[in-house]
Amino acid sequence: MPIRRTVFIEEQSVPEELEWDAFDEPGFHVLVFDDAARKAVATARLSPRGNGLCFFNRLAVLAPWRGKGAGRLLMETLLDEARRRSQRDLELHAQTRARGFYEKFGFAAEGQPYLEAGIEHITMRRMLATAT
């Protein structure tokens, strides 16, 4: 998980003990690869929590690839996987500066901003339509 280490621990000073958690092993992890660079450049995790609730978290893109579509690919893949798993209630804790990015994917802010790992976040949710 060198991408998360670089983005969260090194760039954003998230304490290492807060970065790795019990949802890493059972989570569904997504990577975006840059074929030309021959390396993974972005990652994210989907963490089902039961009763149709699913968290999107640990979305990280290495600095040189930000703004080039890697985050969009991660979100599209996570949304597809959530649908495939019949997850209805999607939640994420967005850094407030990234709120607009998640709004593009139908997430809406709930409540007030709060500090998580020393960084201002806001809870965001999206409901997926169920098949009829």
Number of domains comprising the chain: 1
Residue 132 lies in a domain: no
Q: How far apart are CA 54 and CA 62, in angstroms?
A: 25
Instruction: Report the C-alpha gap between 62 and 40 in whole angstroms.
Output: 9
- Average confidence score pLDDT of the chain: 93
The model scores a pTM over 0.85: yes
Dump pLDDT digits (tens) for 32-69: 999 999 999 999 999 998 888 999 999 999 999 999 99
The CATH number of residue 39's host domain is 3.40.630.30
- Supply the range of the domain harboring residue 37: 2-127
Provide the pLDDT confidence category of residue 23 given band limits of 50, 70 and 90.
confident
For residue 57, tell me if it sits in a domain. yes
Give me the pLDDT at residue 118, please.
92
82 inside domain:
yes
Residue 21 has what pLDDT?
Answer: 80
Picking from 13, 26, 34, 35, the residue whose alpha carbon sits closest to that of residue 57 is 26
> For the segment 103-130, what is each residue's pLDDT rounded down to a tens digit?
999 999 999 999 999 999 999 999 998 6
